[in-house]
Structure 1
């Protein structure tokens, strides 16, 4: 039981220790460039500026156990409601099985709250997220019942355009019969190659309760068309038999500023 509670307690400990370091003037504003939660699995450690609405979208092709699937639009809507605070929602994605084995159907809708509690000592940006997947999708795609999760994305900018980031997530699945909890860890190395483009390599590990892990190596890049628009791509390969054989995808994201009052700053 102690092992099961440790990751959740770790998230709570970080929240309490970092709360004293949060400063509204350190969080993003409309003057900052777009920062998205895609195409890597690791989400941005930064929130959306206050009064900004950000839409992140993509399409993937994947293979597992000989089957093929296409899923889209993988849309996440993010709204900055206060300094260092955003509301976000993952809208249902449709998974189309184009080659058996596999299933077709929609995923759940999943609202969440994200609080940026950074920077903390050492110039590490850190956010805390609490969300819940609501039972609106197909059981074969999304699983059973409501599924809350706790998440902690972080990032650290190094020198010469290099940076590292990662994320710890605890998924809770109380309605499932066997795997009631999944711990996910990620780690990313990123390099800014131009003022508008960057590349990354990412490790993604899912560790279900009472089951073997799933491990992926993900890589890709982003290109900013403007300070508020971005295109991206990624290709991932499974590193063990529990992971998908591959996942490849492209995406487009954009941001609208100044929704609450006055023109964009």
Structure 2
């Protein structure tokens, strides 16, 4: 199953490579405002500009299974290495139980590559992501063994500041004796309220193999302090007993441009 899914992803990348080359001029540049993969679960369908480094960070407080947990810093590093192509890495996040029962420890480090395959303004944008969570964290928090994943975030800008987006992710857990695969689907309705601020409402559903689903209703917003800096918040509520009761989080992200010699800062 894993091999077949990666073959499908590779085929999609090959088929779309000609389009990416043709539309390289439409890929994000340093003239564009920062676009992050947070605070919603749905990642941006846009990559970071070539020669730009982006750091996205946040802290969450949640109530789950009768316990209260803080996790942070939820850091993701992103680096634009070519038009419409970036490398990204999720750094280990520490989960600390502050009240009640729950597991404490670090999550895995997870490198990935992201390719924006349809940078066409006014139409649906789509990216393909392939990554793997390496077994560096605590097993009781991150799970056993390496965990590859494939991901497809998309977005569609509508009129009057409205937009739709979503994401399909397949998480593979070959070392887990019970759940070998988890499918995650998200759907977001977003409204740009000013030139610098926007709000969103999001559905998040996790559907593990051989287990019941976990469903969340997430909402929040972001504010751009500058074209390269952003603060954000979100509040989520569980829709069934498998999901956390609630999650509250805040974050700060920034972008540094011009890291490559031929790119202006």
Q: TM-score range by the shorter chain?
A: over 0.9
Residue 16 of structure 1, CA deviation = 5.2
Residue 66 of structure 1, CA deviation = 1.1
Structure-1 residue corresponding to 2:92: 92
SS in 2 for 1:25: helix
Residue 264 of structure 1, CA deviation = 2.9
The answer as to whether partners of 1:21 and 1:120 remain within 8 angstroms in 2 is no
Q: Distance in 2 between matches of 1:95 and 1:264?
A: 39
Structure-2 residue corresponding to 1:184: 184
1:73-97: CA deviation from partner (whole Å, max 9, x where unpaired): 0000000011111000000000000
The answer as to whether partners of 1:18 and 1:120 remain within 8 angstroms in 2 is no
1:110-164: CA deviation from partner (whole Å, max 9, x where unpaired): 0000011013697111100000000000000000000000000000000000000
**1:227 and 2:235 correspond:** no
Unmatched segments (≥5 aa) in structure 1: none
The answer as to whether partners of 1:48 and 1:80 remain within 8 angstroms in 2 is yes
Q: Distance in 1 between matches of 2:214 and 2:183?
A: 11
Q: Distance in 1 between matches of 2:24 and 2:216?
A: 36
- After superposition, where does 1:50-199 map in structure 2 within 5 Å? 50-119=50-119, 123-199=123-199
Normalising by structure 1, we get a TM-score of: 0.94
SS in 1 for 2:203: strand
Number of aligned residue pairs: 263
Normalising by structure 2, we get a TM-score of: 0.94
1:146-202: CA deviation from partner (whole Å, max 9, x where unpaired): 000000000000000000000000000000010010000000000000000000000
Structure-1 residue corresponding to 2:213: 213
Q: Distance in 1 between matches of 2:68 and 2:12?
A: 40
Unmatched segments (≥5 aa) in structure 2: none
Q: C-alpha root-mean-square deviation of aligned residues, in Å?
A: 2.0
Q: Distance in 1 between matches of 2:263 and 2:126?
A: 29
**1:21 and 2:30 correspond:** no
